[in-house]
Structure 1
Amino acid sequence: MRKGMRRFILVVSTIYMYSSLISCNDRKVEEEEVRDIKIGISIYEQDDIFISSIISNIENITKEKRNEGSYNITLNVEDAKSNQYNQNEQVDMFIDQGYDVMCINLVDRRSAANIINKAKNANIPVIFFNREPVEEDMNMWNKVYYVGAQAEQSGMMQGDIVIEKYKNDQSSVDKNGDGKIQYVMLEGEQGHQDASIRTEYSVKRLVDSGIKVEKLGSEVANWSRTEASEKVTRWIEKYNDKVELIISNNDDMALGAIDVLNKSKIKNNMPLIVGVDGINDALKAIENGQMTGTVISDAYKQGKAIFDTALRVSSGNILNNDNGIDERYIRIPHVIVTKENVGEYIK
């Protein structure tokens, strides 16, 4: 009996030790599965409302991912204050401090090659967003990525908003009845690819639809509400109510136009105004009838795409051109918003 009892105790002890070993190993595996990731982000200007919205979404998504327990994420967002030298210094800092991935909203597209060379030498993947490097620069290395909207689509959709309005009530657009639309263009920034493409394709869409247009003026307002107000003030002084359409490369400049028009003598005969981004103030302006429409460039989807890509490439994954789809380019589609559907998007 004692012999049997000793055998039983030995078996139980062995099972207990084995279970403890498994438990320890499980805990060790769990601990090893928590990955440390350092993501460095440099933006061209934190005062840009749309860029700030993208960053806010990235920060929220990062918190959610941290709470899941699988990742210990360091997120460092730096503001270049519209100065390329500052951005270059920030890139150097990310490299010196051993960041796993860099996300860059370029101050100057011409500096992309320099940043890519630095990233390549340090073997740190780089994700550009909102400001797209030229194809030649994108092809310098297989760990270079771009997240952004489809600029052609946004311009065409701006045109579509005007076309729909023109079809439904021509006299509300062609107010002087001369058979063509007199327009002015608020451009975002000299040399910015999205600004150039939106400018081109918004007007091209109108012309291709058979609508005759006449350009009264075009000014660069650097995405700024204040600068746009200054440009529109001069146009109204010069053309008065001859301006029938204001096309703006973004919503903030469109709001600058509205600021001026609301104080002008033509406030009861407002031109059509279309923008891009879908910021909340613009949606409110659409709701109250001061703005004709906008094209939503989804800040949440862009932020999520940037974060998800950063997570993937920081793990050593390389996104390549497979099955005719270049995974290095992540394009976020747009949505048209007018008074008819603004309630679905306004906060």
Structure 2
Amino acid sequence: MKIVSKAVSLAMVTLIIFISISTTNINTYACLNLSSNNRNVVNAAVIFFRMDDPFTMKTAESLENIAKDNKNNIKFTFFDPKNNIAVQNEMLDSVVKSNYDLIILYLSNNKQDVVADVINRVKTKNKPLILMNIPTDVISNVYNLYNKIAFVTPDSKKAGVAEGKIIADLWNSNKMDIDKNRDNVLQYVLLQGPTNDPQVVDRSKYAISTINDSGIKTEQLIAINAGWYKDLAKDSIESLFLKYSDQIEAIISNNDAMAIGAIEALQKYGYNTGDKSRNIAVVGIDGLQEAIDLIDKGSMSGTVIQDSNVLAEVLYNVGMNLYNNLNPIENTNYQIENREIIIPYPYDVYTGKLNNQ
């Protein structure tokens, strides 16, 4: 009887374990099934070439705000390759293989072979792709590699024109303060971003041409590639100031971060601290709050505003359209030029509280 009893008990225990395991497997399967079949939140991977850039940080914040307002539609995950091409490639490989539905990518290297390779890698997994700030000539050679891609770029010509107009207006209204050597020529230093970024060429070219078109003669003392970095711009101006200090009448910067670095360098030598006789006109692009504060203090002359919310909306709307197999600009008022979706920045300028009232 004891043997029979033990046998019955063992059978019951085995049955209970079997039922328990079976139930667990069924519940797990049901949960996975529910998740995969009913998920409608787009999981978007955002890889900017660096995340410590102030405007990039503002853009990431704007995207996060969109995600909060549309939490049933999209989720953004940010990756920071720290401007390292090898790291960016590793991150892209990981993202392509992972459970992401949309990839937004700002490449640190936008040469044609690199861009084509990226497109083909994403294409193998059939994931929608947004590429930012790719040169027009590159786009014309790679756009037909994949049908789930969109190219997004700002109209940097307009940004350059707006920046040049700030300088032209300053010259026309305060020429005696700017033209320190009274030679009727604007001597300037140009702070540029990376030379492989199409924004850099247009911002620089059209800022200067706008000044010249206003009837103002210019002389470029030196152009510095500071790579969008505040600290690099600061160090460059510090080292060059002793050579050019009595010649510099303006510093024209491709972005606010470098302009802010330039101002910090100037202030080290007692310039741009409030004394009009020791002030050099400094202008930038982005509309960063720090730049606006410096303008209000009289340390910076002006900035061209790029609204990060506008860029975030474009990335969201275009991304959702791609994910839903729609035309990238479906239900938007975006314009396409040379196969590029133009970010509709208004490019307002800020030159101080009184001037902007």
Q: Taking structure 2 as the reference length, what is the TM-score of the superposition? A: 0.80
In structure 2, relative to structure 1, the CA distance for the partners of 1:77 and 1:265 (3 Å cut) is closer
Q: What is the CA–CA distance in structure 1 between the aligned matches of 2:335 and 2:186, rounded to whole Å?
A: 39
SS in 2 for 1:242: coil
Q: What is the CA–CA distance in structure 1 between the aligned matches of 2:255 and 2:84, rounded to whole Å?
A: 21
In structure 2, relative to structure 1, the CA distance for the partners of 1:342 and 1:209 (3 Å cut) is closer
Correspondence for 1:161: 166
In structure 2, relative to structure 1, the CA distance for the partners of 1:341 and 1:113 (3 Å cut) is farther
- Structure 1 residue 234: deviation in Å? 2.2
- Structure 1 residue 203: deviation in Å? 0.8
1:95 aligns with 2:96: yes
Q: How does 1:289-304 map to 2 (within 5 A)?
A: 289-304=298-313
Question: What is the RMSD computed on CA atoms of the aligned residues?
Answer: 2.5
- Structure 1 residue 328: deviation in Å? 5.1
Q: Which runs of 4+ in 1 moved over 3 A?
A: 130-133, 265-268, 320-325, 340-344
Q: What is the CA–CA distance in structure 2 between the aligned matches of 1:287 and 1:280, rounded to whole Å?
A: 11
1:230 is matched by which residue type in structure 2? D
The counterpart of 2:228, out of the listed 216, 223, 237, is: 223
Q: How does 1:172-321 map to 2 (within 5 A)?
A: 172-267=177-272, 268=275, 269-319=278-328
Q: What is the CA–CA distance in structure 1 between the aligned matches of 2:299 and 2:265, rounded to whole Å?
A: 12
Indicate conservation of the 8 Å contact 2:152/2:343, yes or no: yes
Correspondence for 2:151: 146
CA-to-aligned-CA distance 1:215-250 (integer Å, 9 cap, x gap): 111111111111101111122110123100100011
Correspondence for 1:330: 342
CA-to-aligned-CA distance 1:27-48 (integer Å, 9 cap, x gap): xxxxx88613211111111111
Gaps of 5+ in 2: 1-36
In structure 2, relative to structure 1, the CA distance for the partners of 1:317 and 1:324 (3 Å cut) is closer
Correspondence for 1:127: 130
Indicate conservation of the 8 Å contact 2:253/2:284, yes or no: yes
Gaps of 5+ in 1: 1-31
Indicate conservation of the 8 Å contact 2:55/2:288, yes or no: yes
Correspondence for 2:28: none
In structure 2, relative to structure 1, the CA distance for the partners of 1:40 and 1:229 (3 Å cut) is same
- Structure 1 residue 147: deviation in Å? 2.7
Overall identity of the aligned pairs, in %:
28
Q: What is the CA–CA distance in structure 2 between the aligned matches of 1:342 and 1:310, rounded to whole Å?
A: 38
CA-to-aligned-CA distance 1:86-123 (integer Å, 9 cap, x gap): 22222222221242110001111122211111122222
- Structure 1 residue 145: deviation in Å? 1.3
Residue correspondences, number: 310
2:327 is matched by which residue type in structure 1? I
1:222 is matched by which residue type in structure 2? G
Indicate conservation of the 8 Å contact 1:44/1:83, yes or no: yes
In structure 2, relative to structure 1, the CA distance for the partners of 1:255 and 1:324 (3 Å cut) is closer
